[in-house]
């Protein structure tokens, strides 16, 4: 590049998008861009959008408009949309939102520098016409790896190791010279750049999904399921540990399918102990599990592998058999409760969470009552509830039996109240128990470590941003972000816990 350019990445949506943003950051920094945290300080603001549901799409549009407002009032010259919404709508989004200077799809990520340079130079990039990405790879899972490695499809977040020359070693990048919140680069050369200094980071295990849930559009724009090679996952996890990460969360559209395209559906059970053994990592968490694909060996691995937290992010979506069949899913209340019983027989304090859709086409009052029965007995730690709305290109959008919006809203409010009550009750059940807490933040009033400020972390059953927090009390002298502590739960507030520190967790240095 002939001159230094600055770029800010604004990320919306799920943890998978966060991984994609950090890969984009790695590509840009390797090409000489200066990364900044605030879009107002950047020549170009890259907004990594979410295209899952209407509320998320609205947030993405608002973020693009907010970034556009910076133009003409500071350094910002261009605003670029990337991510799921950009991939899903492409040219249509560009026409509907002229405030965005470009809408880039996944296929543009490998050439992100050229795209941004063209835009900053006043050029135009023709937005892509969306296509069904499921058709880009062979139908047979075992044939996909060769096609993907041959460049048949772009896979955001699957970045392999970067050439050594592409990234400056840590000793050449003093922490004092980095923008606040950006971590230095060291360890294995990975095509990724951390955008914060949190002790927690996500690692993409796979991309895409082979399931055909009637309400979900994700497979069409994320593509068919494709696992990452275990060596790539391990290398990235080692690199993150070198950056000071203490907990990794494995993410994908469906972690229970990991390995099926590599010839071993039980590959996750083999990978987990290797990840947990990485020096510096204290916790490994697995998210996005499909109940219909859970198997005894995976339950054993998640409940009995040292360093792997007994945490089950189970995608139930509903529990009435009639509704689940229309969703093109499997199971029912009793089967789901039996699965939870199986898990708790192995690990009584295991964490469990899920999301649910209410008001699905054809949902009856009896179906809603069945969902209430499940939630009342499931003892879930965290529950997300969403009212059904049509999604472009999904089978359910053409279903009959649509419920009036006011009925959907009423059912959403009812189940949300129940969810709040049941999760608060589950948190109360944990009072008196001992938990292991990863410290994630220390109030500014306690920066000197004298124990005067609030110390916040998460117990094993609490995933980042979705499942509540644990506030620590007691002797907090010398406690640092990234410490793993044992504590006794003394109170709860909704899904959040208050716990008194007992000491450093066994096997972990102070």
Q: Please name the residues in contact with 345: beta carbons below 8 A apart, sequence gap of 6 or more.
A: none
Instruction: Report the distance separating Cα 278 and Cα 187, nearest Å.
Output: 13
Backbone dihedral region for residue 17 (phi beyond 0: left; psi -120 to 50: alpha; all else: beta): alpha
| SS3 per-residue string spanning 134-163 | HHHCCCCHHHHHHHHHCCCCCCCCCCCECC
CA atoms within 13 A on the CB side of 219: 17
Report the run of H or E that residue 299 belongs to, with start and end.
Answer: helix 296-304
CB 9 within 8 A of CB 24: yes
Q: Residue 67: helix, strand or coil by DSSP?
A: helix
CB 283 within 8 A of CB 484: yes
CB 25 within 8 A of CB 193: yes
| SS3 per-residue string spanning 383-430 | EEEEECCCCCCCHHHHCCCCCCHHHHHHHHHHHHHHHHHHHHHHHHHC
- 4, burial (CB in 10 Å: exposed 0-12, middle 13-18, buried 19+): exposed
Residue 385 sits at φ, ψ, to 5 deg, of -125, 130
Task: At 487, list the tokens.
Answer: 């504590």
Residue 437 sits at φ, ψ, to 5 deg, of -120, 130
Q: Which residues are annotated as a binding site?
A: 14, 50, 84, 209, 213, 216
Q: Which residues are annotated as a binding site for [4Fe-4S] cluster?
A: 14, 50, 84, 209, 213, 216
Residue 416 sits at φ, ψ, to 5 deg, of -65, -40
Task: At 75, list the tokens.
Answer: 């350094």
Instruction: Report the distance separating Cα 250 and Cα 272, nearest Å.
Output: 10
């Amino acid at each position: 590049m002939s001159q230094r350019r600055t770029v800010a990445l604004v990320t919306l949506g799920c943890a998978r998008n966060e991984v994609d943003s950090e890969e984009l950051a790695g590509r840009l920094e390797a090409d000489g861009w200066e990364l900044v945290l605030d879009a107002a300080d950047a020549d170009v603001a890259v907004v990594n959008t979410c295209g899952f549901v209407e509320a998320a799409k609205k947030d993405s549009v608002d973020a693009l408009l907010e970034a556009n407002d910076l133009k003409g009032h500071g350094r910002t010259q261009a605003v670029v949309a990337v991510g799921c919404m950009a991939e899903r709508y492409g040219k249509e989004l560009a026409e509907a939102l002229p405030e965005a200077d470009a809408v880039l799809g996944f296929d543009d990520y490998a050439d992100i520098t050229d795209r941004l340079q063209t835009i900053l130079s006043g050029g135009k990039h023709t937005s892509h016409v969306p296509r069904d990405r499921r058709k880009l790879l062979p139908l047979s899972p075992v044939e996909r790896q060769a096609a993907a490695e041959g460049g048949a499809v772009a896979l955001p977040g699957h970045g392999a190791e970067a050439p050594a020359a592409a990234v400056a070693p840590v000793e050449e990048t003093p922490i004092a010279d980095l923008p606040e919140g950006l971590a230095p680069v060291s360890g294995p050369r990975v095509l990724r750049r951390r955008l914060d200094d949190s002790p927690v980071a996500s690692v993409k295990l796979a991309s895409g999904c082979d399931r055909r849930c009637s309400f979900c559009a994700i497979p069409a724009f994320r593509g068919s399921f494709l696992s990452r090679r275990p060596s790539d996952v391990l290398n990235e996890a080692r690199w993150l540990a070198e950056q000071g990460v203490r907990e990794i969360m494995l993410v994908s559209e469906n972690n229970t399918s990991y390995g099926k395209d590599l010839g071993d559906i039980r590959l996750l059970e083999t990978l987990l102990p290797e990840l947990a053994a990485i020096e510096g990592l204290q916790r490994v968490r697995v998210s996005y599990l499909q109940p219909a694909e859970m198997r005894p060996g995976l339950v054993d691995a998640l409940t009995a592998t040292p360093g792997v937290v007994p945490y089950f992010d189970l995608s139930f979506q509903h529990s009435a058999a009639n509704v689940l069949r229309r969703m093109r899913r499997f199971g029912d209340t009793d089967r789901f409760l039996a699965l939870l019983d199986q898990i708790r027989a192995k690990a009584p304090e295991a964490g469990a969470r899920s999301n649910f859709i209410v008001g699905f086409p054809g949902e009856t009052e009896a179906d809603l009552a069945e969902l209430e029965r499940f939630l009342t007995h499931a003892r879930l730690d965290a529950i997300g509830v969403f009212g059904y709305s049509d999604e472009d290109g999904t089978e359910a959008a053409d279903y009959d039996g649509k419920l009036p919006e006011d009925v959907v809203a009423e059912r959403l409010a009812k189940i949300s109240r129940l969810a709040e009550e049941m999760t608060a009750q589950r948190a109360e059940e944990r009072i008196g128990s001992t938990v292991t807490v990863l410290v994630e933040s220390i109030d500014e009033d306690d920066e000197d470590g004298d124990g005067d400020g609030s110390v916040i972390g998460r117990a094993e059953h609490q995933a980042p941003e979705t499942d509540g927090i644990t506030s620590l009390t007691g002797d907090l002298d010398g406690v640092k972000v990234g410490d793993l502590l044992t504590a006794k739960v003394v109170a709860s507030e909704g899904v959040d816990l208050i716990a008194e520190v007992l000491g450093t967790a066994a096997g972990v240095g102070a």
